[in-house]
Amino acid sequence: MGDRERDLRAYARGTQLRFILGGLALAIVVGNGLIWLIYGPGAARMGLLCSLAALFPLGLIAGWLWLLDQLAGRAADE
């Protein structure tokens, strides 16, 4: 049992990513489901479109931070 080493940072990183993705999925599904129930399918489509449009800048920021992390890792290796 003590033979294997555990990378706790990788585990924490994976867990945080799953929490973030799960929270976003839950917010979009539950939020748009409630919009659909209360206001109808047309409003739910617009809510989904707005939710995806709101995620676009977050994706750009996450991509930029990932790129900077990759570049910093390469600079540290040299």
Helix ranges (DSSP H) in 1-78: 8-39, 41-77
24-42 confidence digits (pLDDT tens): 999 999 999 999 999 999 9
Sequential pLDDT tens for the chain (78 residues): 555 678 898 899 899 999 999 999 999 999 999 999 999 999 999 999 999 999 999 999 999 999 999 999 888 777
CA distance 12 to 14: 5
Extents of the domains making up the chain? 8-77
Residue 21 Cα distances to 5, 28, 33, 62, angstroms: 27, 11, 18, 13
**Which residue, 73, 74, 55, is CA-closest to 63?**
55
